[in-house]
């Protein structure tokens, strides 16, 4: 196996495994928020703002995984 093939395989593994976790996390955050809004609709504004903040932090991990995968590919 040459260096280029190893870099491509490393990039694919880093990107694939790196976005599985945030994807599951965002799904759980959304599910929890929808359950909370269903139980207490008056608090939906506060719940949605906290949900968006949590999604942003979770998505940052996915973006970090993609950056690491590009570093593996090009460096």
- Taking 90 as the threshold, does the pLDDT of residue 34 lie above it? yes
Q: Which domains does the chain have, with CATH numbers?
A: 11-74 (1.20.20.10)
| Residue 1 pLDDT level (bands cut at 50, 70, 90) | confident
| Mean pLDDT of all residues belonging to the chain | 93
Size (the chain), residues? 75
Q: According to the model, what pLDDT value does residue 73 have?
A: 87
Token code pair at residue 53: 């903040």
Nearest 5°: phi and psi at 23? -65, -45
Render pLDDT for 52-73 as a digit per residue (tens, 0 to 9): 999 999 999 999 999 999 999 8
- Taking 90 as the threshold, does the pLDDT of residue 39 lie above it? yes
Pinpoint the alpha helices (H) of 40-74: 44-74
Structural contact between residues 14 and 69, judged by C-beta atoms closer than 8 angstroms: yes
Q: According to the model, what pLDDT value does residue 51 have?
A: 96
């Amino acid at each position: 196996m040459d260096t280029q093939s190893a870099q491509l395989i490393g990039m694919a593994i880093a990107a694939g495994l790196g976005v599985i976790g945030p994807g599951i996390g965002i799904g759980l955050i959304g599910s929890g928020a929808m359950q909370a809004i269903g139980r207490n609709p008056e608090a939906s504004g506060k719940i949605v703002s906290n949900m968006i903040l949590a999604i942003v932090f979770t998505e940052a991990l996915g973006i970090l995984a993609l950056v690491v995968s590009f570093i593996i590919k090009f460096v």
